[in-house]
């Protein structure tokens, strides 16, 4: 069975605008997106939306044949305590199993605290944001919109389109000219890219 299930982590103050491009286009290409919370109690996003998680962290298995990706977004809670640390620990199980993890904004700090950025090339909001976590991966930090290092994708908070591009590339949703055209259309509003996507 092809890996087609994407797990989207959701938690209070979840930055709901950061994954819209990613999840919408994955869904249009045959992926199933399942929301995952610490519990199945509804959470309220930073944008004021209520989401009831489909599953809990305990239900998620990286080793399942249909598991394709774990997405972690920013949230105020990444910077105010350890409440979201269990999500970073689940990210470790995904990476250990060779299943991609995509983290944007504050989620990168959670991965840094978990030690997952110590030996992987990565990016975030800015280097000193991650330095404040006490992690040991500063030499692997890159000033870039988004970075992919094997199974780990990272991006800063202002780059949801670049984040989506890296996810699509890693999963093979778009490749080559079409990947470039998708990015030009949604990042640069380049109308000429539409024809390439439709070809």
Strand order through the sheet with 32-37: 55-56, 32-37, 5-9, 67-72, 101-104, 152-155, 146-149
Sign of the dihedral through C-alpha 74, 76, 82, 84: negative
Residue with tokens 């990286």: 62
Beta strands in the chain (DSSP E): 5-9, 32-37, 43-44, 50-51, 55-56, 67-72, 101-104, 146-149, 152-155
Q: Which residues are catalytic?
A: 105
At residue 192, φ and ψ (nearest 5 deg) are -65, -20
**Residue 124 phi, psi dihedral angles, 5° rounding:** -165, -155
């Amino acid at each position: 069975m092809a890996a087609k299930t994407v797990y989207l982590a959701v938690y209070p103050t979840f930055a709901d605008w950061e994954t819209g491009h990613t999840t919408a286009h994955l869904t249009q290409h045959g992926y199933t997106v399942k929301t995952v919370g610490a519990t199945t109690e509804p959470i309220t996003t930073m944008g004021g939306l209520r989401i009831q998680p489909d599953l809990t962290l305990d239900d998620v298995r990286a080793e399942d044949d249909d598991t394709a990706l774990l997405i972690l977004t920013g949230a105020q809670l990444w910077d105010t305590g350890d409440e979201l640390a269990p999500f970073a620990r689940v990210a470790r199980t995904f990476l250990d199993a060779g299943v991609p993890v995509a983290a944007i904004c504050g989620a990168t700090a959670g991965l840094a605290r978990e030690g997952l950025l110590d030996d992987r090339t990565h990016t975030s909001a800015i280097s000193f944001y991650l330095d404040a976590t006490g992690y040991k991966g500063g030499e692997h930090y890159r000033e870039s919109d988004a970075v992919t290092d094997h199974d780990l994708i990272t991006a800063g908070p202002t780059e949801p389109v670049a984040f989506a591009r890296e996810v699509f590339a890693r999963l093979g949703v778009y490749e080559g000219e079409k990947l470039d055209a998708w990015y030009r259309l949604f990042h640069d509003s380049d109308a000429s890219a539409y024809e390439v996507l439709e070809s």
